[in-house]
Amino acid sequence: MNYPTGIKKTNLKKDHSNINYKNRGMTLESEINLSNEYYREIDKAYIYKKPTPIKITKVDYPSRDKAIIKEAFFTIPSTTDYNGIYKGKYIDFEAKETKSTTSFTLSNIHPHQIKHLSNVINHGGVAFVIVRFTTLNETFLLPAEKLLSYLKKCKRKSIPLTYFKEKAIILNDGYQPRIDYLAVVDNLIGGI
């Protein structure tokens, strides 16, 4: 479960706090968000992270115009985290980090998210996953087509790093945008 940014660190127990607040620099999520902001600023693409899905069970109204959520739970997302429009194309992707130095565990992506990526491709959209091996500091963009063909052939519960090296595209860190994943998307859609 990914917890959203903006949660007070003091409210997180220690075994959770090291997920989002490690010292190695920005999280993949923050870097993608900054990249998307930059793309919007230069009017290149409109891609947003969806809000974290939650189920609200208790709301208080201390005054007429104020609402405070007093109880809610994180729920499993129906779709992927990011979507939007680029060059008239529907863009859809999921971003994940792993500490492993050898493979990416597939349980990080829910089966219905994989089905969703498949649906997007079938309907003419561009779908992919961005996976960062944080310990190695290597980030890959794996087109959904490659992810799906791997899942079809291999019944393993993880994708080895070697598969990323072979089939995915490396995303290098930059200044602006931090991660220029749309340069890779340009190649995927044939450099329109």
Residues that bind its own copies (CB under 8 A): 1, 3-4, 6-8, 11-13, 15-16, 40, 43, 45-46, 48, 50-61, 64, 67-74, 77-79, 83-90, 92, 116, 119-120, 122-125
Least distance to its own copies, CB of residue 136, Å: 27
Between 143 and 159, CB nearer to its own copies: 143
23 Cβ contact list (under 8 Å, min separation 6): none
Give the nearer residue to its own copies in terms of CB position, either 92 or 180.
92
Q: How far is the CB of 61 from its own copies (least distance, A)?
A: 5
Task: In whole angstroms, give the CA distance from residue 24 to residue 32.
Answer: 16
Residue closer to its own copies, measured from CB, 108 or 138: 108
Q: Which of 147/161 has CB closer to its own copies? A: 147
Question: Shortest Cβ distance from residue 179 to its own copies (Å)?
Answer: 20
Alpha helices in the chain (DSSP H): 14-20, 28-41, 111-122, 144-153, 161-167, 181-188
Q: 88 in the Ramachandran plot: left (φ > 0), alpha (ψ -120 to 50) or beta?
A: left
The dihedral through the CA atoms of 53, 56, 60, 65 has a sign that is: positive
Name which of 14 and 152 has its Cβ closer to its own copies.
14
| Least distance CB 108 / its own copies (angstroms) | 16
Give the shortest CB-180-to-its own copies separation in angstroms.
Answer: 18
CA distance 107 to 119: 19
Q: Are 105 and 113 in contact (CB under 8 A)?
A: no
